[in-house]
Amino acid sequence: MLKKNMRKRLLAGALATIMALTMCPTWALAVDEDINTLPAPEGQMPAVDSTPAEDTIQTPDAGTQGQTEPKDTEQAGQLENQDPAQAPSGGTDIENTGNNSSSNENDSQNNDAESNSPANTISVQELQSDRAWYQREEAMYFILLPKRGTPKNNRDQGQENYLPSSDNETAGTKGSDGGVDGLSAYTGYRGYVTAKAMRILAYRNAIDGFDYENGLNDTDYLEVPENLGFFTAKNWTNGSYTPTTNTDETARNALLNTDSFTFTPDGVEIVWYTIKKQSDGIHVDGYLRGVPITVTYHTNYEGNNITGMTEDSKEVSATSGHKYTVQDIDFTDFERPENYTFAGWYVGSTKYDVGSQYLLTGDLHLYAKWVKNAYNVTYYVDGAKYEQEKTYKVNSAVDVKTDRPEKEGYTFKGWKTKDVTVTNDTFTMPEKDVRFDAEFEINKYTVTWENEDNSFITSAKVEYKNTPKSNPAVSKASDAQFDYEFVGWKVKGDESNKIVAPTEIAVTEDVTYVAVFKPVTRQYTVTWKNSDDAVDSLATEKVDYNGKPTLDPRDKANKASNAQYTYEFKGWKLADTADTALVDPTTIAVVKDVTYIAVFKPITRQYTVTWKISDDAVDSLATEKVDYNGKPTENPTASKESDKDYNYIFKGWKVSGTADKDTVEPTDIVVTADVTYIAVFDKTARQKNYNYTINKHFYNEKDVEVNVDKGGAKSAVENTDIKDLYTANKQETFGNQNYVYVPGLTKVTDNLKKLTKDVTIDLYYYLDVKGGEKPDETGNGTPDAWEYRLAFKVVNGEWNKGGSADIVVYVPFKDYKTGKTLEYVVVPITSIPAVGDKPNSGYRAGSWDTTPVGNAKVEKDTVFTYTYAKKSSSGGGGGGGSHKPTVTIPDDVPTGLNGDDHYAYIVGYPDSTVRPQDGITRAEVATIFFRLLTDETRNANSTKTNSYSDVAAGAWYNHAVSTLSAMGIVKGDSQGKFNPNAPITRAEFAAIAARFDDKANTTAVDFSDIASHWAKNEISAAANNGWINGYTDGTFRPNNKITRAEAMTLVNRVLKRLPETAEDLHNDMIKWSDNSDTSAWYYLAVQEATNSHYYDLKENKHEKWSKLRETRDWTELEK
């Protein structure tokens, strides 16, 4: 008995075969829960008389609706002549369901030795083990239309055969939502498939294992949409369709009705027969059963390449969802083409067997295939017919011709063809003509090359009538008398010795070539050289064998003199023989290469010894000729007259070019070259004295000379060290005041270090009467002119240590020893007095007018004043405090500034802070006013050049500083600097603002601390315009550093940008984490400065924001 699994697999395999033969989709049979979907290989189709690969019969192919949204109309899927046995699939073909024989996704892991189950069988255990992993999923339901149009060409018919569908511009068809508004080919009718279905689809792409005739109504797999549009009866009322749809009645009737059928929702049955997993989701496909359809048989002469006959067709009625039996051609009255046999009905390459039944879902068009009865066999030799063709019946056995045609230079190999397969020289006649061509192989011949002595050199195989590609290299060894020159090749056996060119002679048989040589009398080289080891020769001559040389180059022979000898030519010798074996080359016959060497006679050399008074003397004291290695006999003496500085005594002789200390005795030295001796003298210096004068210069606290104490001339010995000529006192008194000596300023004539001429020595003393921690101290070792005075004052109170007297500190800015300017001059941190704890009655802690910072740079005498503030509950405008200041709105915005467009001119920080209490630099303020210029003013004055030494062309603030400087709005200091990174003071800010108002009222205002201030006019103008206020103690504090909040407040006043309350702002404005207190005096000013907005003016001239606007890209302006 077969095992249960084996029985199921045999049954499934048999049913799969039946389904493939009936053109049905591949299904799994629900006979047993353990049997899964069986795959149907693509190629498993009826094979009787089919030739799908090379079939020349053309029949229209079936097509399907496209399931995914097309990129163009040609991808939309056009269906014409669809195979009725294929699944519409909401736009997919049965071949795309994933049931492909090449698939390995669903291979069973069953190792039962008796199992022969299909490759895609899924084990029940596998499905059960992951049951919990799947759940129901949305699906698109599509319904095949009841009847298709008759095809008119081979194009696909299009998506209009399914509902719902979409527009197809290429086909010229309009899509239909199938009766449900908003649906299309990309949505389908909206339903679901169950978790059970999803478990199966996890292992393959489709579920086709259902009863195609009765469909699948198993709720284990489907949750059919409640609303199927035209196919749902409740959507109809008295024959009228009531829901909203994009398909009017005319278009609906064209889709659903036929000449013999009127659609009613109760008169059709939907058969759901497949579930498919597509790239755009799950598709469920159905068709309508019970609709009259037509089966049409076509003669298809043209598709079989049969000419001269008129096409015909025959129609037969059928019903969708029912099986139809294919009939033989005999039931038609079709005309049979001569010499052809009917070979069956086809759709595309798929054959529909006569007598077989097929379940139909729509019209079916069958096309006849005709097979020719007999064809020709023809033989060719080099493209020409070998003999007249012969005719053979199809499927008859034909023997290949045994003739062996001849061709000069070639060997016949056999008959070849591409039309049939030949076995043992026999083939079966196909349904086409057959051609055979004679195949030849070109003959090859041997070309041999031999030397003159018949010795083998080489050989080569050369094809008939071709030539050898090259000749081999060949030579014949020379003997003493002759060289041998290669002349060429001759054919072996040719007694005429005719020279031929083997590479130019076409080969038609085996051939041998022999080398031919010509004897050439040899010449030998005679060489003459200066010595055996000489590289170059004096002369060479070519001499025939047994001849004699004619040259004798003795006039070229020479030998360089050495220190001991010169040389005279004596004669020639053969190379490598003794100098005494002299020969005459012109008398000796030449039988080989030969070299002759010159022989020389040595002659002893003499040298000149010269004595001179000095190296540069023109005349000599004496000369003598001495043989090589001999010694001179002369021994002259020398004398030299004294000059004004020295006396000279003869000491001896030195060799020219050596030091005076290296004296020698010429008569003791052997001579090996010309030599000159120079007289050496000892000199005795005559003693000298020079004068020197010491002057003392006195300078006051302003670095101005007030006295010169000129000393008398004194004498000292020549070359005395200058430093030994004087001793400077560290301090001198002049006018009852103390002066300190500065060593580094001492001057000596020509900066001499030794006394070599009369000199003047100048010593410099500077006033030093102050410089301690207390005003009554005198002298600290540093010139008063080289110190900055730092004074600390306190007003309305005392220092923390008590007392209110000024504290004075002196800071040197030059080195007291050298007078060089110090690089770093800073406020001593230990000298800054503590203050703020001891105010007078009615006052509270205040502030410095200029805050002294430890180790801050000092550039001038500076007074630091700390003022205790008068107790008060309100702050000055922009001066701090916790209450908003009273504001008087000026009438006009100054010329050149943009008061109309309220752009944000301050940008916050990335951490959502704006830091209102931080300081602001001069460069930042210049940039703010540059942004706030009108476009006309900015463009008219724009420049990127300036005269400041500390504003570089590439600096981010360069454009702003350069432009405002050119306008006269900002200015630098007396040293030509702008100080862009320095914090800006209240006075500097007021001055910048006031310079925009050229008609400002500069009447002095009543601030107690600006009377002598450089910016008193600008401060007065800003105050008279209502832009600034002072403090309650009557001061303006011009040197105080301004904060970001104060700056924004003053700018807003200048531009009349003045919201009155927080309600005047906009809810969507940018907010800052450190400006969230609406009661802060600067809250409104900061928000106004950091938000771009449109606004309306209220009656009291304050503004109310209407909406926000985009901020300008300031970086583009500032480039």
pLDDT, tens digit (0-9, with 9 covering 90-100), for 761-803:
999 999 988 764 444 556 788 898 888 888 899 999 999 999 9
The full set of domain ranges for the chain reads: 4-41+66-289, 302-372, 374-442, 448-521, 524-604, 606-685, 689-767, 784-870, 922-1118
Residue 11: the pLDDT is 39
Strands 434-442 and 410-416: antiparallel
| DSSP summary character for residue 668 | G
pLDDT confidence tier of residue 815, bands split at 50, 70 and 90: confident
Strands 281-289 and 137-144: parallel
Q: Is the pLDDT of residue 27 over 60?
A: no
Q: Find the range with the poorest average confidence among 159-168, 302-311, 328-337, 440-449.
A: 159-168
- Helix and strand counts by DSSP (H, E) for the chain: 12, 52
The residues near 975 (Cβ < 8 Å, ≥ 6 apart) are: 949
Q: Which of 480, 442, 484, 482 is nearest to 462 (CA)?
A: 442
CA 24 to CA 357: how far, in whole Å? Answer: 11
Strands 364-372 and 292-298: parallel
Residue 778: the pLDDT is 64
Average confidence (pLDDT) over 65-75:
34
Q: Is the pLDDT of residue 115 over 60?
A: no
pLDDT confidence tier of residue 109, bands split at 50, 70 and 90: very low
CB 987 within 8 A of CB 1015: yes
The residues near 407 (Cβ < 8 Å, ≥ 6 apart) are: 381, 382, 440
CA 68 to CA 91: how far, in whole Å? Answer: 8
204 vs 231, more confident: 231
Q: What is the 3-state secondary structure (H, E, C) of 775-843?
A: CCCCCCCCCHHHEEEEEEEEECEEECCCCCCCEEEEEECECCCCCCECCCCECCHHHCCCEEEEECCCE
Q: Find the range with the poorest average confidence among 169-178, 298-307, 361-370, 527-536.
A: 169-178
Q: Find the range with the poorest average confidence among 43-47, 411-415, 438-442.
A: 43-47
Q: Which of 402, 390, 404, 372 is nearest to 434 (CA)?
A: 390
Question: What type of residue sits at position 81?
Answer: N
Average confidence (pLDDT) over 1029-1045:
87
Residue 786: the pLDDT is 87
The radius of gyration of the chain from alpha carbons, rounded to an integer in Å, stands at: 62
pLDDT confidence tier of residue 611, bands split at 50, 70 and 90: very high
Strand partners, 190: 140
pLDDT tens-digit readout, 378-396 = 999 999 999 888 989 888 9
Strand extents, DSSP E, 613-724: 622-627, 646-655, 663-664, 675-685, 689-699, 705-710, 714-717
pLDDT averaged over every residue in the chain = 82
Q: Find the range with the poorest average confidence among 41-45, 505-509, 1070-1074.
A: 41-45
Residue at token pair 């060289």: 483
How would you class 283 by CB atoms within 10 Å of its CB: exposed for 0-12, middle for 13-18, buried for 19 or more? buried
pLDDT confidence tier of residue 300, bands split at 50, 70 and 90: very high
| CATH architecture label of 374-442 | Sandwich (2.60)
Average confidence (pLDDT) over 456-474:
94
Is residue 948 classed as helix, strand or coil in its secondary structure?
coil
Average confidence (pLDDT) over 271-282:
90
Cis peptide before 164 (omega within 30 of 0): yes
Residue 495: the pLDDT is 87
CA 85 to CA 693: how far, in whole Å? Answer: 133
Residue 155: the pLDDT is 36
CA 1055 to CA 1103: how far, in whole Å? Answer: 12
Average confidence (pLDDT) over 824-841:
84
| DSSP summary character for residue 217 | -
Q: Which of 799, 859, 795, 860 is nearest to 831 (CA)?
A: 799
* Helix, strand, coil content of the chain in percent (nearest 5): 15, 30, 55
Average confidence (pLDDT) over 111-116:
32
Q: Which of 201, 192, 191, 193 is nearest to 130 (CA)?
A: 201
Q: Is the pLDDT of residue 1095 over 60?
A: yes
pLDDT confidence tier of residue 825, bands split at 50, 70 and 90: confident
Half-sphere exposure of 1016 (CA within 13 A, CB side): 13
Count CB neighbours of 258 within 10 A: 17
Strands 646-655 and 606-612: unpaired
pLDDT tens-digit readout, 867-896 = 888 764 333 333 333 333 333 444 467 878
Question: In sequence order, what DSSP letters do the residues of 146-208 get, joined into one string?
Answer: S-PPPP-SSS-B-GGGEES---BTTTTB----TTSTT--TTT-EEEEE-HHHHHHHTTSSEE-
CB 784 within 8 A of CB 808: no
pLDDT confidence tier of residue 216, bands split at 50, 70 and 90: low
Threshold 0.85, pTM exceeds: no
- CATH superfamily, domain 606-685, is Listeria-Bacteroides repeat domain (2.60.40.4270)
CA 191 to CA 225: how far, in whole Å? Answer: 4
Residue 771: the pLDDT is 62
Do 374-442 and 606-685 show the same overall fold? yes
Compute CA distances 1075 → 481, 515, 903, 1082, whole Å: 119, 112, 19, 8
Q: Which of 25, 293, 303 is nearest to 150 (CA)?
A: 293
User: 185-198: buried (b, 16+ CB within 10 Å) or exposed (e) per residue?
Assistant: bbbbbebbbbbbbb
For a pLDDT cut of 90, what percent of the chain falls above it? Answer: 51
Q: Which of 504, 477, 478 is nearest to 489 (CA)?
A: 504
Q: Is the pLDDT of residue 110 over 90?
A: no
Compute CA distances 714 → 113, 541, 689, 763, 1006, whole Å: 135, 93, 10, 16, 69
Is residue 1085 classed as helix, strand or coil in its secondary structure?
helix
- 411's enclosing H/E stretch is strand 410-416
Average confidence (pLDDT) over 822-851:
82
pLDDT confidence tier of residue 637, bands split at 50, 70 and 90: confident
Question: CATH number of the domain at 448-521, out of 3.30.1360, 2.40.50, 2.60.40, 1.10.10?
Answer: 2.60.40
pLDDT confidence tier of residue 282, bands split at 50, 70 and 90: very high
Compute CA distances 829 → 463, 824, 833, 851, whole Å: 109, 14, 9, 12
What kind of fold does domain 524-604 have according to CATH? Immunoglobulin-like (2.60.40)
Strand partners, 826: 857
Average confidence (pLDDT) over 1030-1058:
89
Q: Is the pLDDT of residue 422 over 50?
A: yes
Count CB neighbours of 439 within 10 A: 12
Q: Find the range with the poorest average confidence among 75-79, 201-205, 1045-1049.
A: 75-79
Q: Which two tokens stand for residue 755?
A: 């006394």
Is residue 415 classed as helix, strand or coil in its secondary structure?
strand
